Amino acid sequence: MRNKKKLSDEIISALEGMHASLKEVDVKWWYQLEGSYTPKENMRRYNPEDGPYSSVHEGNFYLAGHESHWIIQCYLLRKNAVIVEGINPATFIDPVGTEDIHGAILEFLNEWWIPMLENPVKLEKQDYQAYAILTMCRMLYTFENDEIASKPASAKWVQGNFGKWHDLIEWALNWKEDAGLGKKKETVALMQFTVDFSEQ
């Protein structure tokens, strides 16, 4: 049995203060920050009963457990981590199998994206449309290739293999705040296509 640890109240308070101060540095990127502070001993493999952990998302600092998409984060940390200082994550995160990756993506679809098909309020915003389009591309790539690639690489692969979505994906890849008319209807259609593909 692994030795589970928790961050002290003092460390959590210091982390919260640090994130609050980042808003004064650059509010745009402060809002974009997303992550979780997890003791190294708890990162070897995903366990939904672990936590809660200090987390940050869209400007909010809070305590929460990891959801199943943490499996995807562990895979990417092992594969693509850029080590600024410290230990290679591959030494304290177990390998993540294809079955686990597929299961995590399916759960992410069921918990987050499928409900959005019925209530697509978030898709009114163009930035979220672009995010959804590229996320669907990443899921399609993973379902077909049994590995996770970057969003741009996944998008180019989908463009080459599912030509119907080429122009929509190109719009998402090049989206800027002054992009004009949005692509809500087309985004919903790609989401439904991805859900149907996942069931094959």
What confidence score (pLDDT) does residue 178 get?
A: 64
Helical H segments across the chain, by residue range: 9-25, 27-32, 70-80, 98-108, 114-118, 126-145, 151-161, 166-173, 184-198
Q: Do 133 and 159 meet the contact criterion of CB atoms below 8 Å apart?
A: no
d(CA 192, CA 186): 10
Contacts of 165 (CB under 8 A, 6+ apart): 158, 159, 190, 193
The rounded average pLDDT for each run of 10 residues, N- to C-terminus, in the chain (200 residues) is 72 93 91 89 88 90 89 91 90 93 94 94 93 97 94 97 97 82 93 95
Delimit the domains of the chain by residue range: 9-91, 98-198
What residue type is assigned to position 177 of the chain?
E
d(CA 189, CA 170): 16
Three-state SS at 178: coil
What confidence score (pLDDT) does residue 67 get?
A: 86
Q: What is the pTM of this model?
A: 0.83
